[in-house]
Amino acid sequence: MRRAAFCLLLTTLAPLPALAADACRAEYQRGFTEGVAAVNAQLGAVTAQMQRDVQAQVNAQLAALDAQRNAELEARLAAAQGEALAAQGPVQARGAGGVAVMPAMPSLPPLVRAPGGGIAPARPDGTLPGAAATADMAARGAAGLPDDPAALPAGTTITISDPQALPPELYRALVDFTR
């Protein structure tokens, strides 16, 4: 009985190896392809994480280098400023006997009202520069004005209280003259 069962089994299984090879090959190919895709997906995620980690390390190193460079630059600037101030010497002037004397504050010259309005620096005698010429022109009136502004005496002051009231030609001539 055993022998008969074995023969029966052998005759039934004889055509299977030819069919089994094709089925196994297809399953092997499918499994291999799925495995490669799974490994690639894992590698992609791992590679992306590695790139993020490396970029974070590079950014941290660059920030540290930048902070170090800024600190060194500020230290060198402070040292250079200190050397420049030391080379400049004391700010206060020394008077007789080495006593510190405060330097005089700058001052404006005396100011006076100009004829026709405005304020101008005065001469040491308290008059305006060109005041005599201006007074002479005012005494002669508008008829005494030259046609060419260049012919005005040196130091003559011109006060224009309302530029919109000037004739356009005069305004252009004055603007051209002042350029």
Of 108, 155, 167, give the one whose Cα is nearest residue 128: 155
Both structure tokens of 153: 């005496």
Please write the tens of the pLDDT for every residue from 126-141.
666 655 555 555 565 5
The structural domains of the chain, with segments of one domain joined by +, span 2-86, 111-178
Please write the tens of the pLDDT for every residue from 63-119.
999 999 999 999 999 998 888 888 876 655 555 666 665 666 666 667 777 766 677
Q: Whole-model pTM? A: 0.32
State how far the alpha carbon of 116 is from the alpha carbons of 51, 113, 157, in Å: 79, 9, 9
